[in-house]
Amino acid sequence: MWKSKLLILSLLTGLLTGLAIAFYVFLTESLSYILYLGEPFKTIPSLPWWYVVFITTSSILIVNLIILYSERAREYGVREIAKALEENRLTFTTSDLALKIIASALSIGSGFAVGNEGPSAAIGTMIAYRLNRAFKLPKELLKVAIGIGASSGIAAVFVSPITGVLFAVENVAYTLIKDFVGFVLLGSFTSFLIALSFLKPIIFNYSTGKEIHPDYVLSILLFIPVILIGVYLYLTLRDKVLFYLSSLASKKLTRIQKAILTSLIGGITVGTLLKITPYAGFSGHQVVEALINSKLHVPLTVIFSLVILRIVANAVSLYSNAVGGLFITLMSIGALIGYGFGEGLRGLGFAVEPFYFAAVGAAVFVGVVMKIPFTAVVLALEITYDYNVIVPTGLIVSTVGLMASAAFEIKKAMLRRKES
């Protein structure tokens, strides 16, 4: 009996999540066009600074007021949901879901550097949670339902079904995948088919399939220390910016005063970064698509500047309580680092195209920082279908992940030794 209910839940979760994600993405894009009087990447450079700052500041102030009204509009990401389930403290309402969609769409639409995959996964989990309660399934199946919802949300927003499944496995359903993978697949693929009717996936236009180019395979070994340095730069700079900004807020301020101060700092900073270049903000989806499919050669100085600006924008967005995820934002930073590495190799005489390394960098960066290596490899597979991207991604994400973990463990040990 419960299996038939779970089957229906999987189909309904995929259907409703696909429709909800399509609406959420269209809402975000529509807000960008309305707020910036057209395509933001074209209009922002010609708009006055005060107007851009007004948009970012007022938007994030509204988001912070929403969070003051309902903390659940911000607090639930997929791993937080899994933890809340284990601690038996998970509660959702329909208004929480609506407020989360509005807050996230406003955050991303106004230019804050957060992604839409976190809220998408949360939307899927919220829908699955409500359906689970409606069907009165056994309590032990709640985590399975959450896994179905998370995979459906990711599958829809990336228009990539297997990526959605692996994301759920690595974040929520890893202990249950053996017995319930069929239901997760059903929800993910249903959501994917619905989203495919409304949204477009990221596509790698220059795929050569299974044809291996030795220049790419050999040069990828040189990419390992570069992407490792990029990961360390991101984590270090992000934490320093967050620490500095957090120290500006006085403990004596009320919640509303803190919300206003946070919104002013975040809005003015992100607005200024958008005026420097619109590519410093927003989710990063446009950055990834442009880099992995462009044969234009961008100067290394521009690439490096964009890396720094996007890291700062992401840190400020997190500080400002912008509602969104990290997945696509991290992909954009990794794509920039990879593209810059490819340009550097071309300057040294290697016969390679930077967009290959942009694709590898995008997948590896998100895999290492978020500690989801399987999802990173499958993402590279579904976007590119190119062995010159998939094989290096698998090799690098595992190697760099181990090296990064070892480096930070050593750093922690040194800090403990200094304290003692």
- What is the residue-averaged pLDDT of the chain? 84
Residue 29 burial (10 A CB sphere; 0-12, 13-18, 19+): middle
Does the pLDDT of residue 354 top 70, yes or no?
Answer: yes
What does each C-alpha distance from 260 to 14, 68, 156, 321 come to in angstroms? 38, 11, 34, 12
Main-chain dihedrals φ then ψ at residue 115, nearest 5 degrees: -100, 170
The answer to whether 12 and 131 are in contact (CB under 8 A) is yes
Query: For residues 31, 36, 41 and 44, what is the CA-based torsion angle, rounded to 10 degrees?
Result: -150
Compute the distance between CA of residue 186 and CA of residue 149 in angstroms, rounded to an integer. Answer: 11
Does the pLDDT of residue 115 top 70, yes or no?
Answer: yes
Compute the distance between CA of residue 281 and CA of residue 33 in angstroms, rounded to an integer. Answer: 15
State what percent of residues in the chain have pLDDT above 90: 33
What are the pLDDT digits (tens) for 182-223?
Answer: 777 788 889 988 898 888 888 888 888 878 777 777 788 889
Kindly report the pTM of this predicted structure. Answer: 0.88
Least confident residue range of 13-17, 75-79, 225-229? 75-79
Contacts of residue 111, defined as CB under 8 A and 6 or more positions apart, other chains included, come to 32, 36, 40, 44, 52, 55, 56, 270, 271, 274, 278, 281, 282
Give which of 230, 407, 219, 399 is closest to 303, Cα–Cα. 230
**Widest CA span of the chain, in angstroms?**
65
What are the pLDDT digits (tens) for 298-335?
Answer: 888 899 999 999 999 999 999 999 988 888 899 999 99
In this prediction, residues 391-404 reach a mean pLDDT of 83
Contacts of residue 66, defined as CB under 8 A and 6 or more positions apart, other chains included, come to 73, 99, 102, 103
| C-alpha R_g of the chain | 21
Give which of 190, 136, 188 is closest to 167, Cα–Cα. 188
Does the pLDDT of residue 57 top 90, yes or no?
Answer: yes
- Strand positions, DSSP E, 135-251: none
- Walk me through the domains of the chain, giving residue ranges and CATH numbers: 2-196 (1.10.3080.10), 214-419 (1.10.3080.10)
